[in-house]
Structure 1
């Protein structure tokens, strides 16, 4: 959501008003539409000039008795886009783009935003390039290099080193030079997301068996990608 949202705010909900009639005609079944007014506590990402109070639409699910959730004074993180011609209005980028504020969620959002806006932010991965495995001097020893295809043609490669005892370690390089002292990306960083969520599930069938095994090792090390997609 940080990647998709040009506006990210830490806000406190001031009031909610249920919307009925034609303006709620496209509300999904079982949900109710609210107009929410919120006071900005902190602007994490967005235009320099924003009003202190903003409004937006939010679809919520009533409880078993048909009562709507009480959101007044709730502190939230909003991932949104601006509304053309109205600085005081935003549009959530997807149905679940209002998230409860917690210190951990705030810290994670701010860290990823900083990574996304950095000049050297890791590029989007669009596919796999060449791969090759070089056996070492000792039995079981070797190194696999896998080159990735990126959206802006910047070099990104994976290097997997296998020791004679069978232990493996891998690094990712964002330049033409492989730094063997580097570490794999930490989970929930932008680089981790680029790899874990967009690397294909396997090397092409024409790849060397050892390279394919080493690639699987990288995927297993990264772990599964939870993109947090909104519920259907």
Structure 2
């Protein structure tokens, strides 16, 4: 939902009034287990976006067929649409195959939380890559620190910091400024910062980010980067 919410020009709440199953040339490219529908719906709210949305809208959506083989019942269904304006008045173009979202209280609260976090003054930017990694062994065996600097869409500084202490589990945190806060914690799950990292970081450290490091330090940086990825958990995109 975060992928769609952050890219869709419009987020619209609506109630489906009519859904017509399309066939033949009108359903070209639709898989055998899905059906394309022409939908007319009544707008109930503009959740986000600029401009006005007419009270009556239309759009196309491809939906999976019910496993029971029965006809899918869409009339009256409350939905949220992540969309862009179409070419005709009142027409919307969904931005993806899952952009018609059931309008449940949980889904709407989730969508609104994402949109609110995205416009906050301290909203974290999108991660576009990794620039450099540094690893410094400590004075004691098993003590070290790794810093990994990230590239962002708006060139704001973000770094990952991994500390190892003897007989302790590695500790990692993220810094959103040039200064590293020693008391910082990993981002909580289901926050925008967690999403930016979990879904934006590459699966491994790029070799160019390790240039200048010894083989031993580069291997240590790779291990610390895995600590961060394991701590974030998978991006279930």
Name the TM-score class by shorter chain: 0.7 to 0.9
The Cα offsets for residues 106-161 of structure 1, whole Å up to 9 and x where unpaired, read as 11111111122334322222221221122334332222111112233221101111
1:58 to 54, 58, 61: 61
Task: Give the structure 2 partner of residue 226 of structure 1.
Answer: 236
**Residue of structure 1 equivalent to 2:163:** 161
- 1:64/1:49 Cα in 2 relative to 1: closer, same or farther (>3 Å)? closer
Q: How many residues align?
A: 226
Question: Contact 1:160 / 1:171 at 8 angstroms: preserved in 2?
Answer: yes
CA-to-partner distance for each residue in 1:38-97, whole Å, 9 max, x for gaps?
2223322112422223211122344467643001121222111111452x2211111221
2:94 maps to which residue? 92
| 1:210 aligned residue | 220
Gaps of 5+ in 2: none
With over 3 angstroms needed to count, the CA separation of the structure-2 counterparts of 1:84 and 1:116, relative to structure 1, is farther
* Counterpart residue number, 2:191: 189
Aligned Cα RMSD in Å? 2.2
Contact conserved, 1:19 with 1:34, CA < 8 A, in 2?
yes
1:47 and 1:185 map into 2 onto residues whose CA distance is: 31
Q: Distance in 2 between matches of 1:164 and 1:123?
A: 34
User: 1:57, 1:204 → 2: CA distance?
Assistant: 41
Higher share of residues assigned helix: 2
- Distance across 2 between alignment mates of 1:65 and 1:224: 32
Q: Cα–Cα, structure 1 residues 130 and 59, in superposed 2: closer, same or farther, change >3 Å?
A: closer
- Counterpart of 2:148 in structure 1 is 146
- 1:168 Cα offset (Å): 1.7
| CA 214–63 in structure 1, closer or farther in 2 if over 3 Å, else same | closer
Given that 1:61 and 1:68 are in contact with CA atoms closer than 8 Å, whether structure 2 keeps it comes out as no
Give CA-to-partner distance per residue, 1:153-197, whole Å, 9 cap, x none: 221101111222232221111211112222212222222122112
Is 2:11 aligned against 1:8?
A: yes
Secondary structure in 2 matching 1:172: strand
TM-score by length of 2: 0.84
